[in-house]
Amino acid sequence: MDKGLTLDRIAVFKDGKPLVALDHHIAPGEVLSVMGPSGIGKSTLLSVVTGTLPRAFSFTGRVHLDGRDITDAAPQRRMVGILFQDDLLFPHLSVGANLAFGLRPGGSRAARQNRIEDALAEVDLAGFANRDPATLSGGQKARVALMRMLLAEPCALLLDEAFGRLDTALRAQVRDLVFARARSRALPVLMVTHDAQDAEAAGGEVVTLGT
């Protein structure tokens, strides 16, 4: 079975009526951008992949990730990372403690600390582990949220309007960083966006739902 993320003839129904459909394979390191009008079902499609589809919906088709059929797997076993527009850091915890939430259990305290330091260095935030998240800029917070998600070692990355709250310059910076980190880890990326520039920057295929 192919490496990457496959949405194999996915058709989603809301209250029994067809809502949205997608049949697509995303290769490792590639980005598929999904656009379309509000309410068409973009976020719902992502929840089929994460295994968090709300009760009002049902679907047919299968989801495969790196050759595993994850269609019926529990969300925490899918190895899928997702970034949202409002990916808030826990305000009462330091940056390092926030990152520790991404780490899978196990390993020595020193090894865990090293992974956190390496993650911070990877996004030019070396030495930030003891900082209070409230003292970070928007771009710095976005980088911590990205690394918290990547520390869980996902096999695919989903983006749900992940850059929506950032101003234009910062948006481009964070977006490029996310795509670069996903490429260097050979992660397939499924991105939902309203922004044509996001899709252009992704450089991959674009699917516009409802057309």
Footprint on this chain of ligand ATP (rule: CB under 6 A): 14, 38-44, 54, 56
Do 209 and 36 touch, CB atoms closer than 8 A? yes
Residue among 19 and 70 whose Cβ is closer to ligand ATP? 19
Cα–Cα distance for residue pair 38/27, rounded to 1 Å? 27
Q: How far is the CB of 42 from ligand ATP (least distance, A)?
A: 4
Residue among 20 and 155 whose Cβ is closer to ligand ATP? 20
Q: How far is the CB of 12 from ligand ATP (least distance, A)?
A: 8
- Strand, helix or coil for residue 42: helix
Q: How far is the CB of 38 from ligand ATP (least distance, A)?
A: 3
Burial category of 25 from C-beta neighbours within 10 Å (exposed 0-12, middle 13-18, buried 19 and up): middle
Residue among 35 and 129 whose Cβ is closer to ligand ATP? 35
Residue among 20 and 99 whose Cβ is closer to ligand ATP? 20
Q: How far is the CB of 103 from ligand ATP (least distance, A)?
A: 30
Burial category of 202 from C-beta neighbours within 10 Å (exposed 0-12, middle 13-18, buried 19 and up): buried
